[in-house]
């Protein structure tokens, strides 16, 4: 399995979303973290399994929360570009590719 790397803002997106869910319920925030970890683990195991999305990016969705993990498979790592809400600011993360 390739090494996983994270854009610093992708890490912040996970933290901020979990904080919002924690305002409703700490258990809800925990389930969010678990789902994102599961999505990232699945990406690490088979990065080409998931749909190309705005090449060179791919994305994979969780099953419960409205978030997608957007990533690029590089020669030596998988780079997580964003953990994006489905309906908020589409394409905002594209500047991170530069």
Instruction: For residue 10, give Cα distances in angstroms to 25, 32, 84.
Output: 22, 15, 8
Angle at 63 between CA 62 and CA 66, to 5 degrees: 65
The answer to whether 46 and 22 are in contact (CB under 8 A) is no
Full residue range of the structural domain in which residue 47 is found: 3-97
For 82, the enclosing helix (H) or strand (E) is strand 77-85
pTM: 0.93
For residue 25, how many other CB atoms are within 10 A of its CB? 10
If pLDDT is split at 50, 70 and 90, which confidence band does 94 have?
very high
| Each residue's pLDDT tens digit, 32-84 | 999 999 999 999 999 999 999 889 999 999 999 999 999 999 999 999 999 99
What CATH number did the domain enclosing 36 receive?
3.30.2310.20
Domain count, the chain: 1
Burial environment of residue 39 by CB neighbours within 10 A (0 to 12, 13 to 18, 19 or more): buried
């Amino acid at each position: 399995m390739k090494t996983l790397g994270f854009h610093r803002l992708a890490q912040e997106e996970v933290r901020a979303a979990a904080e919002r869910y924690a305002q409703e319920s700490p258990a809800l925030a925990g389930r969010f973290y678990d789902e994102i970890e599961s999505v990232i683990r699945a990406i690490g195991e088979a990065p080409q399994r998931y749909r190309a999305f705005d090449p060179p990016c791919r994305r994979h969705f969780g099953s419960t929360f409205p978030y997608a993990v957007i990533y690029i498979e590089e020669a030596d790592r998988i780079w997580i570009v964003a953990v994006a809400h489905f309906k908020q600011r589409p394409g905002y993360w594209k500047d991170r590719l530069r």
